[in-house]
């Protein structure tokens, strides 16, 4: 199967973006969760601007990564594999069936 050059370039670009977003998220994760995030720390959010900024950065970076993966990379990857992308939940289901994602444990 020959991959459309435009799709290949898009996949390469999105892969680079995802790697960079993962690095930023990991960095924020290390700074935010260097110590357990307890109820006491959560109660400090209003009075500790540095902690509040780290939480906001973590949430923003996590959401951005999720959007990039789910809304951009996964549909292009499915297209490259000859699949027809659909709604995000359907794309995730298809990716899991194709072995691209580990199944979630239920319980």
Q: For the residues 19-36, what does the mean pLDDT come to?
A: 96
Contact at 8 Å (CB) between 18 and 68?
yes
Is the pLDDT score of 105 beyond 60?
A: no
- Within its chain, how far is the Cα of 39 from the centroid? 26
d(Cα 24, Cα 4) in Å, to the nearest integer? 30
pTM of the model: 0.84
Q: What is the mean pLDDT of the chain?
A: 93
DSSP, collapsed to helix, strand or coil, labels residue 29 as: helix
Model pLDDT, residue 107: 46
d(Cα 19, Cα 23) in Å, to the nearest integer? 6
Domain ranges, ordered by start, for the chain? 1-33+46-82
Model pLDDT, residue 1: 66
């Amino acid at each position: 199967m020959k991959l459309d050059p435009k799709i290949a370039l898009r996949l390469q670009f999105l892969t680079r973006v995802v790697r960079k977003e993962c690095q930023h998220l990991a960095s924020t994760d290390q700074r935010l969760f260097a110590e357990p995030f307890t109820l006491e720390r959560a109660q400090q959010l209003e009075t500790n601007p540095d902690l509040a900024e780290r939480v906001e950065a973590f949430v923003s970076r996590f959401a951005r990564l999720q959007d990039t993966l789910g809304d951009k990379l996964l549909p292009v990857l499915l297209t490259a594999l000859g699949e027809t992308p659909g709604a995000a939940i359907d794309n995730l289901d298809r990716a899991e069936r194709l072995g691209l994602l580990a199944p979630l444990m239920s319980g």
